[in-house]
């Protein structure tokens, strides 16, 4: 279906598309190559790669014509010329260097492919959603485990290692989806405060942001916990963040403008006095990478607003950061349908006060 949609896009416009992004190639074919070029034609699929991947691709994907570029008797990129020779006036669209087409297929027309595949990847198949859901379940398990284990005196890095170990034990791929964020005390106001050797202290706010990959697909979970009794202001901020998330999820539907979701979060936080402290950009798509289309941020000229497609899987992660003091973020993963947004995360997001300090 993915290739069929891409070929429908090609029809009447291009004779061949050249895909060079490894994740896009994996998305379209299942072939995992750190360096390759995929030629999509209406009646053919050609993977230009090297000896590291050629044999495996031939075995696993017999429907693909695999070319080992290092062993081409003419030129490593001679495939371009051979493809062009099939057409009277060849027209290419490419993710790669257009000048390469000019060098290897003189006379062929070429233009950038643009974000067509990103648009396809934004709407997930049933199989993709199953994999993302399992990745979320693995992160849920790790969070529940951590709540019974975390103690003052542990370093942020020790906490990150515990999360990673638990996710791997429950089936996560190697490596993780991204560097785990464990930021405690004043560092919790760092949106992407990677884990350090700082020791967690009684009374700290601890911001966690972690996820894993399962069969190539990502989860993304943020929770904020209190190493002791939360102060009244902290409770108020936490409740504001939860309200912002609830409002966004309630509004999340197919066709809703992506920037509008961010505006809802901002307006909720601003109404409680935290407009300046709200972290702009309430969410993003999730799939083969931890951040892909659609991006939900209300910043015209920075990211274009787009209608959220059916079967998008997105994060909703409003946050308030009080620089020099603490930060609070709560993040879930939502599958967007015509009727609603289905939460794929079950991890506890009530205000969690552990008995320390």
Interior/surface letters 131-161, b for 16+ CB within 10 angstroms, e for the rest: bbbbbbbbbbbbbebbeeebebebbbebbbe
Q: Give the pLDDT score at 1.
A: 64
Count how many Cα atoms sit within 13 Å of the Cα of residue 139 in the half-sphere of its side chain: 32
Q: What is the CA radius of gyration of the chain?
A: 23
User: How far is Cα 158 from Cα 183, in angstroms, rounded to an integer?
Assistant: 12
Asked if 128 contacts 310 with a C-beta cutoff of 8 angstroms, the reply is: no
According to DSSP, the residues that pair with 313 across neighbouring strands are 335
pLDDT, tens digit, 9 for 90 and up, residues 72-107: 999 999 999 999 999 999 999 999 999 999 999 999
Question: CATH class for domain 123-353?
Answer: alpha beta
- pLDDT at position 222 is 98
Q: For residue 239, which of 320, 296, 297 has the smallest C-alpha distance?
A: 320
Q: Which two tokens stand for residue 348?
A: 């506890």
For CATH 3.40.350.10, the residue range(s) in the chain are 2-120
Q: pLDDT tens digits, residue range 209-243?
A: 999 999 999 999 999 999 999 999 999 999 999 99
How many whole angstroms separate alpha carbon 37 and alpha carbon 91? 17
Q: Read out DSSP for 223-249? A: EEEESSPPPHHHHHHHHHHHHHHHHHH
Selecting from 3.40.50.20, 3.40.630.30, 3.40.1390.10, 3.40.350.10, what CATH number does the domain 2-120 have?
3.40.350.10
Residue-wise pLDDT tens digits, 32-60: 999 999 999 999 999 999 999 999 999 99
Where the chain has pLDDT below 70, the residues are 1, 357
The segment(s) of the chain belonging to CATH 3.90.230.10 are 123-353
Q: Is 9 helix (H, G, I), strand (E, B) or coil?
A: helix
């Amino acid at each position: 279906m993915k290739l069929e949609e891409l070929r429908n896009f090609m029809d009447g416009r291009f004779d061949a598309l050249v895909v060079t992004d490894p994740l896009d190639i994996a998305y379209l074919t299942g072939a995992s190559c750190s360096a390759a070029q995929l030629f999509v034609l209406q009646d053919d699929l050609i993977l230009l790669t090297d000896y590291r991947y050629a044999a495996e691709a031939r075995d696993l994907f017999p429907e693909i014509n695999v070319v080992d570029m290092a062993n081409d008797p003419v030129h490593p990129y001679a495939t371009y010329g051979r493809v062009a020779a099939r057409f009277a006036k060849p027209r290419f669209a490419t993710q790669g260097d257009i000048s390469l087409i000019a060098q290897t297929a003189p006379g062929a027309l070429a233009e950038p492919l643009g974000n067509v595949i990103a648009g396809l990847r934004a709407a997930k198949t049933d199989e993709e959603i199953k994999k993302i859901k399992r990745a979320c379940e693995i992160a849920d398990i790790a969070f529940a485990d951590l709540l019974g284990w975390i103690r003052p005196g542990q370093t942020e890095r020790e906490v990150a290692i515990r999360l990673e170990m638990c996710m791997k034990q429950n089936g996560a791929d190697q490596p993780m989806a991204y560097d785990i964020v464990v930021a405690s005390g004043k560092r919790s106001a760092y949106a992407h405060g990677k884990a350090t050797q700082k020791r967690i202290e009684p009374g700290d706010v601890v911001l966690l942001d972690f996820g894993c990959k399962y069969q190539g697909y990502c989860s993304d979970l943020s929770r904020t916990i209190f190493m002791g009794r939360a102060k009244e202001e902290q409770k108020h901020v936490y409740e504001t963040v939860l309200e912002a998330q609830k409002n966004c999820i309630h509004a999340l539907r197919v066709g809703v403008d992506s920037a509008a979701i961010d505006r809802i979060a901002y307006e909720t936080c601003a109404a409680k006095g935290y407009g300046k402290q709200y972290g702009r950009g309430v969410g993003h798509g999730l799939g083969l990478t931890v951040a892909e289309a659609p991006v939900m941020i209300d910043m015209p000229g920075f990211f274009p607003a787009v209608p959220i497609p059916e079967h998008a899987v997105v994060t909703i992660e409003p946050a308030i950061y009080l620089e020099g003091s603490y930060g609070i973020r709560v993040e879930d993963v939502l599958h967007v349908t015509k009727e609603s947004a289905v939460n794929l995360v079950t991890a506890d997001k009530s205000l969690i006060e552990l008995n320390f300090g």
